[in-house]
Amino acid sequence: MHYLDNAATTRVLPEAAEAAVHAMCTCFGNPSSLHRMGIEASHLLEESRKTVAAALGCLPEETYFTSCGTESTNISLRGAAHLHRHKKGRIITTEIEHAATANTARQLAAEGFEVLFLAPDAGGHITPDALEAALTGDTVLLSCQLVNNEIGTVQPVAELGARLKAKAPEALFHIDAVQGLARVPLTPKKWNCDLMSVSGHKIGAPKGIGALYVKKGLRLPPLMQGGGQEKGLRPGTEALPNIAAFAKACEVRMAQFEADYAHVEQLAAYLREKVQTELPDTAFNGAGDIPHVVNLSLPGCKSEVMLRVLEGDEVYVSSGSACSKGKQSGVLRALGLPKTRTDSAIRVSFAPFNTKEDVDAFIAAARKGVKMLRR
């Protein structure tokens, strides 16, 4: 089996699974309980928070646990909008965001906010000048990805944040860093970032756990009411097994950050070299700023058909965002690519456990698919 769809989800690390089992079977008290079992669970919760905060480049008290990146993004966008509900100013995002941002922004537009979607350049970047042209004094929020989930583009968030705060100092800056965690060093304070979303299952933790950075001093309203956990921002009994697993995944991945990056960089270079020599007429899509995500098109080979061919040889990739469930990529359309490219796009995404054998298997299966589909 050759799993190359790590931007969709990753295999749970053994260390993370062990941490989850410990929290489920040994340290299983409710962190809000006042007896010894509850106090031990609370200690594990706060130690986990410290570990995740270190990976996010922020303080533990700025780190809130959620169920996933989508929830973190919804809390951020809807919370920021609520703070400016009487002003109903401008919200700026981009045409290449994850559905968690794009669909929430559209909902806020229906509620009366002015929402502007910035177009990327040909490589998938949002230029600071494009943002500058869109900024107004009544801008209340900017939301963008750090790393694009389909093409691996890294946005110039430091410059975007600086331009935002210079023109609209009261506006909030939200960054979707779901694909950036453990792939790009996270420095929200240097980026003038107020809110930042991450998700555990992209780095070897189980599904069902995410986190949200909220800049110290900023208070958002919760999406739901409950018992006051997570300082009232995200009420509900904390999912301690998932939280402990997330912390352990952060610990492992951050300890191996440089070695993992170098390994994935070698794999991406090897893939590009093999594609160029063995899959002629292939085109690469987007700037591909990080090596973890490589998006390519095989004109004449429909993505959904090629996926079935690859699956037959136990090679697992995707045609874009898993959340789009096979729909044609809006990201690639936003880049202005022709239909022949968007209809034949394949996303290969790496994790540290991948090897050159996985790349070789992909190339062999893709060559077979090209011969079948280009008759």
Active site residues: 323
Helix-helix angle 69-83:99-110, to 10 degrees = 30
Q: Which residues contact 139 (CB under 8 A, 6 or more apart)?
A: 89, 90, 91, 92, 164, 167, 168, 171
| CA nearest to 164, candidates 89, 107, 235 | 89
DSSP 61-98: GGEEEES-HHHHHHHHHHHHHHHTTTT--EEEEETT--
The three-state secondary structure class of 59 is coil
Residue type, 175: I
Query: Phi and psi (nearest 5°) for 281?
Result: 75, 5
289 close to 295: Cβ distance less than 8 angstroms: no
Cα 118 from Cα 342, distance rounded (Å): 20
Query: Phi and psi (nearest 5°) for 335?
Result: -75, -10
Cα 212 from Cα 10, distance rounded (Å): 20
192 close to 164: Cβ distance less than 8 angstroms: yes
Cα 252 from Cα 316, distance rounded (Å): 25
| CA nearest to 72, candidates 174, 173, 170 | 174
195 close to 212: Cβ distance less than 8 angstroms: yes
